[in-house]
Structure 1
Amino acid sequence: MEISEMSKKTKLLFVFEHWGDGGTEKYAETLGHDLNKRPDISIHIVLFKDLEDDVPQLEWAESVSVVKGNRLARCFALRRLVKSIKPDICHFHLYTSLLLVTIALVGIKRLKTVATFHSPISIWNRIYRAAFFLSTRLLDKVIAGSELTAHELRDWRKDVQTCPPPINIPAIPHFLGKEKNIFVISGCGRLSREKDWSTLIEAMAWITENAEEEIRCEIIGEGFYRERLETLIDKHNLQEKVVLKGRLEHADALTCVASSDLFVLPSLFEGFGMAAVEAMTLGVPTITADFPAATEYIKEGETGQSFPRGNAEALAKLILQHIDDVDFSQKIGKRGRTSVLERYSTKIIAEKHIEIYHSLLGNNPDKIILDANESIKG
């Protein structure tokens, strides 16, 4: 039997407010790539965009539709698209538009709605928290991107399920303990206030003043804080020790991180901290600030380390510990890699989503996947 002769595919419609290079997009793209391999699922994308930049080429999606206009116009346009595409499930990866979009799709027959909350509710103001609360009452299913977010959402709805970001396991080796004349620290993320790269730069200044180690820091990413960070680098005469590498393609960024001795994510806040987990999959020893979500993958002194947010001296002392004790650093990197591979592989996270989707449709996911495989064989 040919695939086309199988029972109808499950149509998923992923809805986003925009498409950039943040954690939400990485989450969806990694998940989409894996789901797209399954013969029983097809994925369609809707993007809310006002900018005139190019529509992204998402080869894992069957179609990509762009919706423009104000929020109300977007809702009407989305409703028309849904009636045209006829998805079985709409999966929202939205923030400020979530309530209006959820209301707009109420009453469409046989449509199930799901939303993933990628950041904790507590960071939003009262108006948005109220909107999120109402949304959870209308949605058929609610997914949290971290246990921290799930804990908050369960005050409103007890059946919240946690699906952390799926991590593509890079085929890039990290050679711990290789001979080098300089210790390289990497970081990756937007150049913005909440990422707090200034604390990492201040830590580099502290090390330069108080130790003789040869170190270099490479920060991957771009953003409106670049000028401020450049000013701080100049202030401490760190032009040869701190490099702002700008935005890199994902594969190039991973290669850069893999070639470093230590990864640092000094963020004041992270919904999850995917950049840190990606570094851990490479086996790179990882230090993060003590934002709450980090406790989900950083087991202090075993899989990684953390420091008080904004405390440059504390960060500097942890960095020196890795420079001075190579054996300790290697063990952190190896244990961190083992830990995240067991919990965040794309296969594990995709299977969690499959279970959620098919439970909404009243299907047995194991049976459907088996039937699809048998159809291919036939």
Structure 2
Amino acid sequence: MASYSIQKREKADGTVRHRCLIRVKENGKVLYTEQRTFTKHAAAEAWGKQRVADIETNGFEDDAKPEVMLGDVIARAIAEPHIDATIGRSKRYCLKLLADCDLSKVPLDELKPHHIIEHCKLRRSAGTGPSTISIDVSVIRWLLRIAKSNFGHDVSQVAVIDAYDALYTQGLIAKSGKRSRRPTAIEIDKLKEGLEARSKQRAAHIPFVDLLDFSILSCMRIGEVCRITWTDVDEAQKAVIVRDRKDPRKKSGNHMLVPLLGGAWEILQKQPRYDERVFPYNATSVTAGFQRVRNELGITDLRYHDLRREGASRLFEKGYTIDEVAQVTGHRNINTLWQVYTELFPKRLHDKDI
């Protein structure tokens, strides 16, 4: 049976369009869809009535394009090399999760705010935090954007945009909380002792203590540490090239020459040169070893990434300026470092003469 529905859609420039969707269903299965957009509601309604009458009388073409689900867009995005190359680890994980959710089975042209809200409610009931769920919503909006720009589907981001107010009001999504966790000197001593013992127990020796110290002193992410090659080492400047450093605006090509301070250079120099990489280890294995020792010691709320903040904090405490610390950490946004600095020295203005 053929039917039509009309959706009012507002474009970014404020102009209004009316999309008329023709659909033929049989036993709950969609056999045919067709759509056209008009500037006037009356024109959309007139065309819809006429097309339904034509289909009822003359039938429809059997080679009509099938409905496209959100899951189809996920699969196609991952399969497209130019898109896949821009997908980071977090987004890829989120895409795989979305592909297994009920939301992936919703046709693009039927996606409504309540679908987004229901997905977020299910994620929340499973124990997922609001800041993590907000990543889901951002990725869904990204999928709708590329579905239109890359794959030519007539969709918009309105369903996500219209859901935002309810999602924030109901506490289903939220911005990530600012972390300020630093390991204490006692915690670091305990970690080193535990990591040293773990290094000796492992068949494939991983110098966990060297990696921990180097991560703090260099302010590098563990993935960056494990990517350094000996050809990236600049002996003259006591620095290394950190390749593809994380940048929200670019996914690759962000190479930086980073000085190794406070003993980091000495740690690098003592590593054996049997591999092209200075630290030829899997970053995930290093993190997993750290987490296991941390948990065994009963140290709570400490992540490996917190070592990066610890390193930046130490540089500030030694008197380095924000722009100097940024050369080590690679921060493009100085505001992030400014927050660390103000946490360390909240009373700094009292030391100045006014």
Which TM-score band applies after superposition, normalised by the shorter structure?
Answer: under 0.3
Tell which structure's C-alpha radius of gyration is larger: 2
Higher relative contact order (CA 8 A, sep 6+): 1
TM-score normalised by structure 2 residue count:
0.27
